[in-house]
Amino acid sequence: MKNKWLRKNTFHYSDFRDLKHLVAEKEKKNLTISLCLPTLNEEKTIAKEIVIMKSELITRYPLLDEIVVIDSGSTDKTMEVAEQFGADVYSADDILPDLNKYKGKGENLWKALYITKGDIIVYLDADIKNIHHRFAYALVGPLILSDNIKYSKAFYDRPIAIDKKKIRATGGGRVTELVIRPLFSIFFPELTQILQPLSGEYAGFREIFEKIPFPIGYGIETSMILDIYEKWGLDVIAQVDLEKRVHRNQDTKALGRMAFVIMKTFLDRIEKLGLIDKKHELFNEMIQFSLVEDSYEPDIYSFGTGDRPPIIEIEDYRRKFNIK
């Protein structure tokens, strides 16, 4: 396999450091940009993300037009804090209330399409400890400066916060290396050039996002890549090196559950593409075992699966955005 795409469509955040130029190009193309932060109990990190993005990319350089928080039922002060620091805050359940209600990251991102106004939407996870405005400007950079790129995705060296005092230089990305990369290698070798397909930071044009289905939960990153690749090809995708992202470490069992949802999403997608033929429906429960006193007890997790349809098919959306 040649790495032509990787050489051509891979950027470093410093390529877009000239924010004045970026703002000028954005204005020239008459674009609007929305930042969406999906949340669930992120009171420790949400305020810093909002403060830095607002200060650097709204007040100092008017690159973003709005910051929107979509919350899926936080029980801590996430929503209160986000509002205090000036974000537009919505509970996912209150958006398109006539539809069935689901909980999950994909659900929040899908509903954000209805709430936000931008031509470009930037999605950032709300748990980034070392948040910096490069996380947003570097993702919109290729979209503004290129005429072909419609979707950009972050990659980085992911140090895991191993205790409160120290960070280590490398690590992380275990689900990527153990699950998604082997699957891509087997079915779509070309996609292995996307270095961190599961990164939670990406940006794209509304015209792309509104035409693809959104899985409700964790599978959103996987499905998004597969759907965009299938519909528009790899050349509309870019990846940007953000250098370092510090995130909360998750134990192996939690990663296992994440891997389960991602594999399920992947298998559903490749079945639709006719690449595999399932003999029976796949099971929908992840079973893990714990040792309780002297016996092994199963921990069974069920996941809400299924997709939201492309939002352009929703009547309320078409009405709001005046789409015939």
Partner 1 sequence: MGKPFLENVTSYIDAMKSIQETILANIVLVGQIPAPTFHESQRAKMFMERLAEAQVDECTVDDFQNPIGIIRGSSRQKPPIFMVAHLDTFIDKEVDHNFTIKKNAVFGPGALDNSAGVGVLISMPEILQRLGLEFESDIILAGVIHSLGQGNLKGIRQLLDNWEGPIRGAVCVEGGELGRLNYYSEGIRRCDIECDISKSAGGWEQRFKPNAILILNEVINRVLRLRLPQRPRARVIVGKISGGFKHGIIAYDARLGLEIQSDSDKMVNEIYRDINDIVDGLKHEYQVNMTVKTISSTNASTLEFNHPLVKACVAIMKKLDLNPISEPSGSELSILLSKKIPAVTLGLTHGENYHLNNAKIEINSLFKGIAQIVGVIQAIDSGVCDEK
Q: Which residues bind partner 1 (CB under 8 A)?
A: 43-45, 47-48, 50-52, 54-56, 59-60, 77, 80-81, 84-86, 129-130, 132, 161, 164-167, 246
* Cα torsion 211, 233, 239, 102: sign: positive
Provide the minimum distance between the beta carbon of 99 and partner 1 in the complex, in angstroms, as a whole number: 33
Q: How far is CA 234 from CA 197, 246, 281, 317, in A?
A: 13, 28, 30, 28
What CA–CA distance (Å, rounded) separates 259 from 253?
A: 10
Closer Cβ to partner 1, 51 or 145, answer by number: 51
Residue 257, Ramachandran bin (φ over 0: left; ψ between -120 and 50: alpha; else beta): alpha
- In 3D, which of 265, 270, 228 has the Cα closest to residue 106? 265
Q: Judged by CB, which is closer to partner 1: 85, or 317?
A: 85
Distance of CA 35 to the CA centre of its chain: 12
Tell me whether residue 246 or residue 270 sits nearer to partner 1 (CB atom): 246
Q: Name the residue nearer to partner 1 (CB basis): 133 or 308.
A: 133
CA 312/CA 38 separation, integer angstroms: 21
Residue 133 CB, nearest distance to partner 1 (Å)? 9
Phi, psi of 102, deg, nearest 5: -130, 160
Give whichever of 42 and 221 is closer to partner 1, judged by the CB atom: 42
Residue entry with tokens 């069935």: 100
Shortest CB 76 distance to partner 1, Å: 11
Nearest CA-CA partner of 122 in 45, 46, 205: 205
Which is nearer to partner 1, 78 or 199 (by Cβ)?
78
* Gap between the terminal Cα atoms of the chain: 42
Provide the CA 211 distance to its chain's centre, in angstroms.
16
Residue (124 or 216) nearer to partner 1, CB: 124
